[in-house]
């Protein structure tokens, strides 16, 4: 899956051109997010640190699930910090989940990108599922200074509040 330059949750075109790529190859999930804006993040966070609350600043997010209500959320900051949790239903958190992951991050004065890779076997959101049952929802929150919400599986809606935890946003993963 590759998407670029999508409107935000409310249909506004972003000058930042957010884009992502996502694939599962040889049992590994590869997710890359990039955007043409200065990073707004906590620079005191070390790359690879596991920190809750990253959504309060710029963040790339990935929601993983399958049939049923169970799902997993993964957040990656422009600093390279990350966080993940599992949920048994809509916003019903079970626990934070740390697992082996590779994270790369790159920043310039007017852009940032992150790449996140993990073995599918370590992703609780997809455990015990056949690959054709994998569902995914790549999202992002970008501040400038007010937050803009991006969900690539979403048709812009001027009436509803942004809510990335909605299972109707989880779509089949096109595998390569």
Q: For residue range 97-127, what is the model confidence (pLDDT) as tens digits?
A: 999 999 999 999 999 999 999 999 999 999 9
pLDDT score for 8 = 86
Q: Can you tell me which residue has the tokens 């019903």?
A: 92
Q: Average pLDDT of 9-31?
A: 93
SS3 of residue 153 by DSSP: coil
| Helices and strands per DSSP (H, E), number in the chain | 0, 12
CA neighbor of 98 nearest in space, from 63, 129, 122 = 122
Domain spans in the chain, listed from the N-terminal domain onward: 2-152
pLDDT score for 10 = 84
Confidence of residue 176 (pLDDT cuts 50, 70, 90): very low
Task: Give the residue ranges of DSSP H helices in the chain.
Answer: none
For 2-152, CATH number out of 2.60.40.1190, 2.40.50.140, 3.40.630.30, 3.60.15.10 equals 2.60.40.1190
Q: Average pLDDT of 132-149?
A: 94
Radius of gyration of the chain, Cα coordinates, nearest whole angstrom: 15
**Tens of pLDDT, residues 160-175:** 888 999 998 899 986 5
pLDDT score for 175 = 54
């Amino acid at each position: 899956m590759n998407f670029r330059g999508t409107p935000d949750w409310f249909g506004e075109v972003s000058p930042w051109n957010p884009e992502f790529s996502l694939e599962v190859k040889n049992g590994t999930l590869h997710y890359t997010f990039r955007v043409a804006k200065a990073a707004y993040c906590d620079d005191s966070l070390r790359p690879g640190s596991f920190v809750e609350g990253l959504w309060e600043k710029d963040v790339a997010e990935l929601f993983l699930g399958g049939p049923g209500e169970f799902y997993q959320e993964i957040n990656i900051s422009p600093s390279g910090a990350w966080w993940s949790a599992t949920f048994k239903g809509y916003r019903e958190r079970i626990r934070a989940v740390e697992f082996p992951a590779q994270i790369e991050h790159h920043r310039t004065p007017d852009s940032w990108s992150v790449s996140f890779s993990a073995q599918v076997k370590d992703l609780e959101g997809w455990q015990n599922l056949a690959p054709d049952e994998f569902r995914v929802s790549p999202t992002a929150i970008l501040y400038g200074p007010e937050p803009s919400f991006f969900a690539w599986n979403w048709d812009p809606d001027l009436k509803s509040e942004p809510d990335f935890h909605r299972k109707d946003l989880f779509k089949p993963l096109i595998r390569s």
